[in-house]
Amino acid sequence: LGEPPPTGVPLDPVVSLFLRREQREQRREQESSLAQRLRRFLRRKFFLFRRSALMTLIALRNLALGRPSPQRLAQEVAFASWRGEEEAQPEADRVARTGPEL
């Protein structure tokens, strides 16, 4: 994972997309200001705490009242895992709206 692929070997499209995304993320981290880094850090921690609290409440409710239907449980887990408008959009919608990022 940390090494570049051998020369002459074609990359899988999924692997190349992952590598481009990782490079873009590294550039963004290096070029961002202290305020942007702090905001990103706080946002990550907020959603981590939110998900942890909601999943704990779901688990406690399930212990007390029994397990709900799989569909309802899936909806609750999806709600707990929600990370905001930007992350909630599928990659294809984001690319269609903003154009491909390389």
- Segment 43-55, tens digit of pLDDT: 999 999 999 999 9
Question: Per-residue pLDDT for 5 more than 50?
Answer: yes
Give the predicted TM-score (pTM) of the model: 0.57
User: Does residue 74 surpass a pLDDT of 70?
Assistant: yes
* Percentage with pLDDT > 70 across the chain: 78
For the chain, the distance separating the N- and C-terminal CA atoms, rounded to the nearest angstrom, is 19
CA distance 41 to 57: 24
Mean pLDDT on 17-44: 90
